Structure 1
């Protein structure tokens, strides 16, 4: 699978999980906790493979200041969602109204980021990198993601 296809599928998975989370009520404590745990694993694995593999390849292939700007903006959006909003949500009681609001903010951040990547960065990546390079990157992303999902799930289980 090529890199763009894999990353786009990741976006769809996380969007669906966030939609399910948004549709829960304050009474769905266990469901919220389970969904949030899965969202955290998927988001951390996704952002890690982008930052370790895809973004550096994109930046190296880029030849314009716009490419570098896309790279740095994407990194900052990851930081906002993964280092600020997600941990804040994880520390919020799942039966509170604050949880609902923070879940909505995370969903909006992720959707904005995914939309931008799909409309701008991925289109540009297709022009900068050939099909063979995208396929090779996709294989690297897939392998690393499997390792990370396993690791993050084990860490979550140990922390619980």
Structure 2
């Protein structure tokens, strides 16, 4: 999705989520490109942290703000909720044993799963939010404040 085509009252909120998506995708590539085991562990734990913060913002603030805007959005939010739970399970497995034998496999599945979620979110959910003209100005501010709190709490 092209950020320049997002309406002004949605640009800050959707843009912030898209920035998170891009940052995590770069980390997925860095993990693949890294040979050293300790480097992979570090990247994996950093991504788990970023995804935990991102999912919390969506679940606490972004998704509730969209709920009820349309039946299609509600269906996409239900699906996103299930996808988040699967991602949380993978994150927990990685965080519980980052030095374990399954790090590479778990992180690969997480990256594939999250990449799919990002495609759906940007390709379907965000487009529906734009179509329904959901005003996200206040949501953007609330998300930014909460993100700062979460980054401190989860550091």
Aligned length: 145
**Corresponding position of 2:123:** 119
**Corresponding position of 1:21:** 31
Counterparts of 2:98 and 2:121, CA distance in 1: 32
The answer to whether the aligner puts 1:146 opposite 2:152 as a matched pair is no
The unaligned stretches of length 5 or more in structure 1 are: 154-160
Contact 1:32 1:94 in 2 (8 A): no
Displacement of 1:95 in angstroms is 6.6
TM-score, reference length from structure 1? 0.83
The unaligned stretches of length 5 or more in structure 2 are: 1-10
Secondary structure of 2:67 counterpart: helix
TM-score, reference length from structure 2? 0.85
Contact 2:66 2:129 in 1 (8 A): yes
**Corresponding position of 1:137:** 139
Tell me how large the CA RMSD over aligned residues is: 1.7
Q: Superposed, which structure 2 residues align to 1:1-160 within 5 Å?
A: 2-25=12-35, 28-60=36-68, 62-64=69-71, 66-82=72-88, 84-94=89-99, 96=101, 98-130=102-134, 133-153=135-155
* Residues 23 and 92 of structure 1, relative CA distance in 2, 3 Å threshold: farther
